Amino acid sequence: MTVPATTSAPESRQHFVRVSYDDPLGAPLLDDLEREYDARYGDVHEQPARTEILRYPPEAFAAPTGAFILLLEGEEPLSGGAFMRYDESTAEFKRIWTHADHRGRGLAGRVLAELESEALRLGYTRVYLTTGPRQPEAVRLYLKNSYTPLFDPALEAEEIGIHGFTKDLGESDRGADREVGSAAV
């Protein structure tokens, strides 16, 4: 079931919706994420990316403790992301992704802002997330949006491995305008 969001993207045909993680509307984004993960990490991971993408049940990303949010243009999914409960005060952001055909338009940053707003609305005060060493655009996205790295940024990405980040949420974060390219968590 698609639920209209309470906020809209600035472009007239673009809008956010909240859907179930297994809603067919989100499938093109998750399929593109799978393709990209396999291309970037297929030589080092023993399992296909689909295993990670389906690691959590859809209920993990459902209200009242989570969300799966899509940015649509008309009915086409452009970008999206999800979160689930990490602990009582922390949301764990996952699957932040912009389809390869729509990168470079600042969509991932807008999705990140929408996820932060929704996490605040659900009572979270902090975000935790991770990204991989072969996703420099994700690292740039989080650094640009005031996320604190839980690693030494001076080290080589492959030496770091999984890149963890945190951010304390506050009222000043609600609806902030952000500009970035694609990212994946």
Residue ranges per structural domain of the chain: 3-173
Q: What is the pLDDT along the chain (185 residues), one digit of tens a residue?
A: 555 554 444 557 999 999 999 999 999 999 999 999 999 998 887 888 999 999 999 999 999 999 999 999 999 999 999 999 999 999 999 999 999 999 999 999 999 999 999 999 999 999 999 999 999 999 999 999 999 999 999 999 999 999 999 999 985 544 443 333 344 44
What span, in angstroms and rounded, lies between the C-alpha atoms of 135 and 88?
29
| Right CATH for 3-173 from 3.40.50.1820, 3.40.630.10, 3.40.630.30, 1.10.3720.10 | 3.40.630.30
Q: Which two tokens stand for residue 89?
A: 């005060």
Neighbours of 40 (CB within 10 A): 16
Q: Please answer whether residues 15 and 8 qualify as being in contact, where contact means their C-beta atoms are separated by less than 8 angstroms.
A: yes
Q: Give strand pairing partners of 93.
A: 83, 129
Instruction: Characterize the bridge pairing of strands 90-98 and 126-131.
Output: parallel
